[in-house]
Amino acid sequence: MAKVLKATQHDIGGLDVNRILPHQEKRMVGPFIFFDQMGPSSFPAGQGINVKPHPHIGLSTLTYLFDGRILHRDSLGNHLEISPGDVNWMTAGKGIVHSERESFEVRANPHSVSGLQCWVALPEALAELEPAFSHVKKEQLPNIINEGVMMRLVVGEAYGLSSPVKTYSPMFYIDVVASQGSEVTIPDQNQETAIFTVCGEVSINGETFAANQFILLEPGDSLISSATDGRYVMLGGDKFEQVPFIHWNFVSFKKERIKQAKEDWINRRFPNIPGDDKEFFAY
């Protein structure tokens, strides 16, 4: 039977988040090892998101917005705004530094932000990749429209489609907008699957789940019915047989590698972000 994983609340650089993964009952869903619901939050002019430069290793970050804009900068020199529906996919590999702030135009006016951010663990054999970054516009993402359902394949493979975002293990991340009474079959019953209800209610095996719930599906939970009009995200992939360690912003299958990354950050051995190197998150 499907079950809800409850979130814990955190403040990240002025932004309220509900953190669901890692969870004491389920540390990963497929390769997804971290799941934050960002907002919805509203800010007056002069206030906003201010996530200072910080490091990552051993993972890819996925930022996907429903509302608002976030300014991404990283140590590879990337500097761009994320808009709703676009995909920000940053692969840390052996080490990268990034910040998440706002443009002058956004901060100068009342504004809001809402979205999801995930960390995707890299397989052990690929954990020390050279860092990389890709930004894919929503127009480039595959879509399915059928029987009261619109689906956007954000990352991975599902329903015979493939996202242009480069990934490193079998997975899927799908944005679904559905009318009341519509039904969606999960992409692959052999893969781990979870649902996050953005708005509206869904029913799974006769049980109804409300908005803003993270629902972990069990074997046999293959059909999602929309009890109301709404929106939800499906995510998952092949199960990791070994769960990597996660500490602060670092993911690795070796505790010694995390210790080294911690020491590298404390001693300023990570690369700087061009144009955003005056402050940083202290360990």
pLDDT the model gives residue 283 = 86
pLDDT single digits (tens) 87-121: 999 999 999 999 999 999 999 999 999 999 999 99
pLDDT for residue 143: 97
pLDDT at 112: 97
Cα–Cα distance list, 265 to 33, 102, 130, 140, 221 (Å): 22, 24, 17, 36, 43
pLDDT for 130: 98
Phi, psi of 24 (to 5 degrees): -60, -25
pLDDT at residue 187 in the model = 97
pLDDT for 16: 85
Provide the pLDDT for residue 12: 86
3-state SS class at 263: helix
CA 239/CA 122 separation, integer angstroms: 12
Per-residue pLDDT of the chain (283 residues; tens, 9 = 90+): 899 999 999 988 888 899 999 999 999 999 999 999 999 999 999 999 999 999 999 999 999 999 999 999 999 999 999 999 999 999 999 999 999 999 999 999 999 999 999 999 999 999 999 999 999 999 999 999 998 999 999 999 999 999 999 999 999 999 999 999 999 999 999 999 999 999 999 999 999 999 999 999 999 999 999 999 999 999 999 999 999 999 999 999 999 999 999 999 999 999 999 999 999 999 8
C-alpha 143/C-alpha 68 separation (Å) is: 22
Task: Please give the CATH superfamily to which domain 3-237 belongs.
Answer: Jelly Rolls (2.60.120.10)
d(CA 212, CA 196): 7
pLDDT in tens, 220-254: 999 999 999 999 999 999 999 999 999 999 999 99
Amino acid at 193: T
